[in-house]
Homo-oligomer: A and B are copies of this chain.
Amino acid sequence: MVLKGGDDTAVRLPKKERQKQLQLFLEAEPFLTDEEMARRFGVSIQTIRLDRMELGIPELRGRIKQMAQKNLDRVRSLSLEEVIGQVVELNLDHSGISVLEIREEHVFARNQIARGHHLFAQANSLAVAVVDAELVLTATASIRFVRPVRLGEKCVAKALVTRQTPHRTQVDVQTVVENETVFQGVFDVYRSKEDK
């Protein structure tokens, strides 16, 4: 009989440790087959499968499918996302409200603070949405980030049309988190061919 310890890199890890590693591995490289994992840990394929069972990790194909599904959902929601954030009220040519929850993808990894352009995007797309015309484009904007917004906070943007001229509409937008103003902006929006 041969000693098992030396065949790969190191002494075989205890079960717990191996399972912890396994999860990390799969997080980094979700496309690993059981076979490959077994090779890396210097352990039999059945052991890996037992581990997966215990940890509730689905098989390769299941994992891939989940990721693909996520991708699909994203693409679909993106094309639907004509307005950044969710519109909860809209009175054309008058006012509108949208809500945006700050998620991982909106913040700086370093400090969990929302990047300014997401707040801007929410406000800008709402400003454009309230204007009732075929072609609507932002011309100028003057904005102010009043205080930083953090991961998890819900931003409520309120837009109000404040002036109308033949080809321009002025929209004021104020964004609040729990009644505290975090952003405000004045958008001067160009429009043409009334009535979309």
Contact B61 A71 (CB under 8 A): no
Q: In the complex, A120 Cα to B79 Cα: how many Å?
A: 20
Q: How large is the interface on A (under 10, 10 to 19, 20 to 34, 35 or more residues)?
A: 35 or more
A113 in the interface (beta carbon within 8 A): yes
Q: Which of A113-144 contact B (CB under 8 A)?
A: 113, 115-117, 120-121, 124-125, 128, 135, 137-144
A109 sits at the interface (CB 8 A): yes
A171 within 8 A of B: no
Q: Is the CB of B144 within 8 A of A139?
A: yes
A30 proximal to B (CB < 8 A): yes
Pick from A5-13, A18-26, A62-70, A155-163 the stretch touching chain B: A62-70
| A71-B70, A78-B105 given; A137·B113 CB < 8 A | yes
Q: Which of B71, B79, B109 contacts A109 (CB 8 A)?
A: B79
A sample of 14 inter-chain contacts (CB < 8 A) reads A30-B72, A61-B64, A63-B68, A64-B68, A65-B68, A67-B67, A67-B68, A71-B74, A79-B109, A115-B124, A117-B125, A121-B121, A138-B145, A139-B145
List 15 additional A-B contacts (Cβ < 8 Å) besides A65-B68, A141-B142: A61-B61, A63-B68, A64-B65, A64-B68, A67-B67, A67-B71, A67-B72, A70-B71, A116-B137, A116-B141, A117-B120, A117-B124, A120-B124, A121-B121, A143-B143
A interface residues, Cβ below 8 angstroms from B:
30-31, 61, 63-65, 67-68, 70-72, 74, 78-79, 82, 84, 105, 108-109, 111, 113, 115-117, 120-121, 124-125, 128, 135, 137-145, 148
